[in-house]
């Protein structure tokens, strides 16, 4: 009896998987090509230019960065960036002490809240920098995170 229920379950879930596989929107269709120069850039300026087209940002306290004061493990640093800036079109997260500072860039729809949470790797004590594009302008905030064990694998 249990085996029959188990098999039924497997059949159902694989059918869903096939449907999902057939129906999804592949990210490559939605986004512009992955910005290689931005992610391989070794300086903050190059990374910002590559990802956002400019490295000129206005510091803003309307951007909050929630990250630990001291990261126990540099390979997994939880970061939440939220902004009260209206019409946030994108949020980018950088770590200025990393060999390649740009970690992630998120493009938001009009009905998406200006807040993203993820976890990043940090090579050493440095600043997490959040850049928000709102109304065509770039705003930034930074927060220092102390890292005891570096997370880049070097």
Residues in contact with another protein by the rule CB under 8 A? 16-17, 20-21, 23-28, 30-31, 34-35, 38-39, 51, 75-78, 80, 95, 98-100, 102-109, 111-113, 115-122, 151-154
The residue among 1 and 123 lying less far from another protein, judged by its C-beta, is: 123
The residue among 56 and 76 lying less far from another protein, judged by its C-beta, is: 76
- Compute the distance between CA of residue 62 and CA of residue 73 in angstroms, rounded to an integer: 28
Question: Least separation, in Å, of the C-beta of 95 and another protein?
Answer: 6
The residue among 11 and 107 lying less far from another protein, judged by its C-beta, is: 107
Question: Least separation, in Å, of the C-beta of 67 and another protein?
Answer: 13
- Compute the distance between CA of residue 11 and CA of residue 13 in angstroms, rounded to an integer: 6
User: 50 vs 12, 20, 78, CA distance in Å?
Assistant: 44, 33, 24
What tokens does 109 get? 């729809």
The residue among 1 and 25 lying less far from another protein, judged by its C-beta, is: 25
Question: Least separation, in Å, of the C-beta of 29 and another protein?
Answer: 9
- Mention every residue, 6+ apart, whose C-beta is less than 8 A from residue 105: 35, 38, 51, 52, 90, 91, 92, 93
Displacement of CA 127 from its chain's centroid (Å): 15
């Amino acid at each position: 009896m249990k085996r029959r229920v188990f098999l039924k379950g497997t059949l159902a879930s694989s059918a869903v998987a096939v449907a999902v596989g057939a129906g999804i929107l592949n990210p490559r269709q939605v986004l512009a090509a992955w910005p290689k120069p931005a992610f391989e850039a070794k300086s903050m300026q190059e990374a910002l230019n590559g990802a956002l087209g400019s490295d000129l940002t206005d510091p803003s306290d309307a951007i909050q960065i929630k990250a630990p004061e001291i990261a126990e493990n540099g390979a997994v640093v939880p970061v939440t960036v939220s902004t009260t800036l209206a019409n946030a079109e994108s949020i980018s997260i950088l770590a200025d002490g990393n060999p390649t500072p740009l970690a992630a860039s998120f493009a938001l729809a009009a009905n998406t809240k200006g807040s993203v949470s993820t976890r990043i790797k940090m090579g050493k004590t440095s600043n997490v920098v959040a850049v928000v594009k709102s109304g065509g302008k770039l705003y930034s905030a930074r927060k220092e995170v102390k890292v005891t064990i570096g997370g880049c694998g070097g």
